[in-house]
Structure 1
Amino acid sequence: MLQSIAQTRRFWVPALVLLVSLLVYGVNYGSPKSMFWDENYHITSGQKYIDGTLFMELHPPLGKLLIGAGEALFGGNEDLDKRAFNRTDYLDGSDVPEGMSFTGFRFASTFLMATSVLFFYGIVWRITRRTWVAAGFSALLIFDNALVVHSRAAMLEGIQLFFILAALYYFVHILTRGKPLRLPQYAWLGVLVGLVVSVKLNGAVLLLLFVMVWGVDQWDNIKAWRWKAMLQRLATTVPAAVLPIIAVFASLLYVHIALGENIVGNKTYKASEEYLEEVRADRSHSLRAFYHGSLDNIRYMLEYSDGVARLDICKPGENGSYAIGWPLGNKSINYRWDKNTVNGEVKVRYIQIIANPIVWFSVAAGIVLSIGLILSRFVYGNPVKDNRQFYWVLAFTTLYVSYMTAILQIDRVMYLYHYLVPLVFGMLNLAMVFTYIFRDDVIANRRHTMINLGLFVLLVIGVFAWFSPFSYGLPINEDQFEARNWFELWQMNVVR
């Protein structure tokens, strides 16, 4: 009996992890029954796809397409008058029809983020081959307050992280399966990266995966400096990787343009006359419309991005923050609040992005340790005790540092949720660092190491529960708020 349970553990443990994730992310995700933060933009865009309205937007189309698909499949708002959605790009709360449900619009982000834990679990398992390590570190993805509150909304990050973790899982899969790398593997990875950048362009950091795959593929030639062989391989692998990215991005952009069959009012987004001519002639699906529409949409993205305000920390109510402070949770953003007075006591329901400090500080510590390990190896020539595990630490640290380095070059206003992507890289890196440091204990499945990881997970869950009023909009009074206002750098302000 015990042997049978052990043999099926490979399946029932990730199933249990998925169930917990679905409960944490999915329970009552339709609340609050009002929009907050960028939902005012993304819900509006999702409805435009349903109604076939032409529009252009800062981000590529996949995220909003899935938001609209969720509403079309599960929304239940068909009888409501939503014409106001087509007349604006930012829907004011006063224009939302009474009794509107948000479960459809929030479905894609909520449940894609919840199910992405299977990819996270799979990544750690394929590298460590330890179920308890994979399950333990998956808890970081499930019980992070910032990820939960932001993904339980019609936002883009939950959708993008699903595809990011899918791409990372496939990357790990092809490098751990013990078979030679072929061009189809480059192509399929290109498809997944194409899906990532079709949600948000910051996903281009995953282009580094091709460099890593090629490095593994050509390691023998690199060590022997066989330049001709390496260049010949580049001549085939680069097209195999890049063409699928372009094909996926272009296909989704075509869907976006083809669905824009109607022009509402004067909302033409400075589109070219050639593009507008095709739309007015009911030919939004034509290749001519796609050509001119693509140029117009890309131009609009670039102009919109250039027009975004710069960070001004002296401005009252500024929600943006410097990226250098993100690893410690600076700056928390109050997305929405609702105040009520019950029996003379003021209680407020906050929807607020706030770090689980155990998760975020541990990730930051893991990155510091990783950088120290990497410098000790390549600068000081110190030996490493596990080459395979060291290179996995190097891979995820590179993704984290590369993303943060690129973000630090941007002078437009940026927000704490822009850290969610490198945060996930850091969670995976933390699992790699743990496995590297406790290598012998992990291999031997030492009980005390399992218990220590279990206690860490319980601490993560306990702190998540403590801050959960901000993630689920549970009513708290001023004293309860201040009891959770742990760090000044979070810049949290109580609503009185």
Structure 2
Amino acid sequence: MPEILIRHLHKIYIGVLLLCSLSVYTIGIGHPNALFWDENYHIASAQKYIDGVMYMEPHPPLGKLLIAGSEAALKLNSDKDKSQFNRTDYITDTHMPEGGIQYTGFRLPSALLMGLSVLFFYGTVRRITANKHLAFAFSFFLIFDNALVIHARAAMLEGIQLFFVLAAIYQMTRAITDKYQYQAEIRLKHYVYLGLWIGLAVSVKINGAVLLLLFVMLYGADQWESLRNRQWWPLLRRLTTSAPCGVMPLVAIVLSIFYLHVGLGGEIAAHKTYKAGSQYQQSLAENGSWSLSTFLAAMPDNGRYMSEYADGVPRLDICKEGENGSYALGWPLGTKTINYRWSKQTTDGTTYVRYHNILANPVIWFSVVAGLILSAGLIISRYIYQNPVKDTALFYWIVAFNTLYLGYMVAILQIDRVMYLYHYLVPLTFGIINLALVFQYVFLEQLARGSRHTYTNLACYVLLAFGVFALFSPFTYSWELTETQFAARNWFGFWKLELVR
């Protein structure tokens, strides 16, 4: 390889990843030119911000604020009368202005941020493994997963949240690797930065609270020597400063986002008050939406609405016809797919159907499961059988990402309400990072000596993931399929793919 390419290979890798990621996630996001799944809710919510109408919702506001900001900035529908969106929480075709709307502005934040998040993924794996080739290869797993792509290319929340999730992980990783690779001290500012990123993730969806485990990991690395030597006073002294430095920015971010949420809702629609209390309504009328008194009155009402909404969501009922929910234990294998929308036409006696399905890339999802199983075996062999490890630092990173994965899944299993396959996208991302680390651990010696055979196999592995992504892409991008083509892609019964006749 020419010397100039070797010198700039890191930048080349970043450029290639960005080009591929942004192409996959952002090109053609206006298609399908119709609502699907939670877009019915989130676009309605975003429009209320644009028009200054108060509303409450079960999720924190940041995702919808970004969706609204994008739509307001691009002004693709500025000539459309979307006032009907303010009269409901769930818009349908009957609420659409004449001629419909363009969806690009509403979908751009999720698609763009998810496309950019590959930089944090690449940076995280590169810093942990000190192997840019490995980080480059496994970053494609974040790009070529069908489920991640279809969900991020929509006016929904997961693509937005995963950007902040991966940013928080990278922030923690950078602080720890700088300490052990460059002897740089972990400072209080690192807790502040981490708290800001976690606060942004939580401000999109509450499940981002699993990232609180990152504080524990950062503190553990920061105070490793004191922990090993059981020096309790230094541990406590550091905790009294590091904990506030992490938690206070997190709380400040969440409260600031909610302040924007309340401030932009200056008008209460006559038909729906969202059970806003009399104190909130009175303060809004007398002091305006941006006053501190209005904010203080609004916060308890918003919290109560979120709690009551969650309590009102039904439980999973697999006997119910058309049930789209699924058990969390089946998610790692891709159970169960959801047909977000479909359309069909018949030409010369052949029926062509455009599916829009959330569907796992089995190469990636099944590999994540294999990585978790291998990780479990490694951890058990170390702590139960006292077997030595090949690379101590890498081993602890594997433990860390297994902890994140299991922490999320255990928390999800405590929830009674119906849950869906896309709730697995956050732990899936943890699992992909873990898979990269396990791969390095297994092939540590081969990668260290630059084994061409190992890197060739890794390249074939990535190409296989891309090939399967391309095979299932008609479900992701809503391209036409015949019944025969559908059957060729219906690989597993537990996916519960439904043929449209």
Match of 1:252 among 252, 257, 260: 257
Question: Is contact 1:75-1:103 (8 Å) kept?
Answer: no
CA distance in 2 between counterparts of 1:267 and 1:372 reads 55
Alignment of 1:43-442 (within 5 A): 43-97=43-97, 98-178=99-179, 179-281=184-286, 283-442=288-447
TM-score, scaled relative to structure 2: 0.98
Question: Is contact 1:260-1:279 (8 Å) kept?
Answer: no
1:449 equivalent in alignment to 2:450? no
Following TM superposition, by how much is the alpha carbon of 1:455 offset from its aligned partner in structure 2, in angstroms? 0.2
Describe the SS at the equivalent of 2:339.
Answer: strand
Following TM superposition, by how much is the alpha carbon of 1:130 offset from its aligned partner in structure 2, in angstroms? 1.6
CA distance in 2 between counterparts of 1:74 and 1:429 reads 38
TM-score, scaled relative to structure 1: 0.99
Amino acid at match of 1:20: C
1:30 equivalent in alignment to 2:30? yes
Following TM superposition, by how much is the alpha carbon of 1:76 offset from its aligned partner in structure 2, in angstroms? 0.8
Cα deviation 1:10-39 (Å, max 9, x = unaligned): 111111111001111112111000100000
**Structure 1 stretch displaced more, 325-334 or 21-30:** 21-30
Cα deviation 1:263-304 (Å, max 9, x = unaligned): 122211011111111222361000001001111111111111
CA distance in 2 between counterparts of 1:2 and 1:184 reads 40
Amino acid at match of 1:130: N
Residue 15 of structure 1 corresponds to which residue in structure 2?
15
Following TM superposition, by how much is the alpha carbon of 1:75 offset from its aligned partner in structure 2, in angstroms? 4.2
Cα deviation 1:124-165 (Å, max 9, x = unaligned): 111122221011000100000000111100000000000000
Amino acid at match of 1:171: M
Amino acid at match of 2:13: V
Describe the SS at the equivalent of 1:338.
Answer: strand
Amino acid at match of 1:440: E
CA distance in 1 between counterparts of 2:287 and 2:158 reads 34
Amino acid at match of 1:246: V
Amino acid at match of 1:79: D
- What residue ranges of structure 1 are gaps of 5+ in the alignment? none
Following TM superposition, by how much is the alpha carbon of 1:218 offset from its aligned partner in structure 2, in angstroms? 1.1
Following TM superposition, by how much is the alpha carbon of 1:115 offset from its aligned partner in structure 2, in angstroms? 0.8
CA distance in 2 between counterparts of 1:27 and 1:168 reads 27
In the superposition, relative to structure 1, how do residues 171 and 106 fare at CA in structure 2: closer, same or farther (>3 Å)?
same
Following TM superposition, by how much is the alpha carbon of 1:319 offset from its aligned partner in structure 2, in angstroms? 0.3
- What residue ranges of structure 2 are gaps of 5+ in the alignment? none
Identity among equivalent positions (%) equals 55
Describe the SS at the equivalent of 1:350.
Answer: strand
Describe the SS at the equivalent of 2:354.
Answer: strand
Question: Is contact 1:109-1:152 (8 Å) kept?
Answer: yes
Describe the SS at the equivalent of 2:8.
Answer: helix
Describe the SS at the equivalent of 1:177.
Answer: helix
Question: Is contact 2:287-2:294 (8 Å) kept?
Answer: no
Question: Is contact 1:75-1:105 (8 Å) kept?
Answer: no
Following TM superposition, by how much is the alpha carbon of 1:343 offset from its aligned partner in structure 2, in angstroms? 2.0
Alignment of 1:470-485 (within 5 A): 470-485=475-490
Aligned positions, number: 496
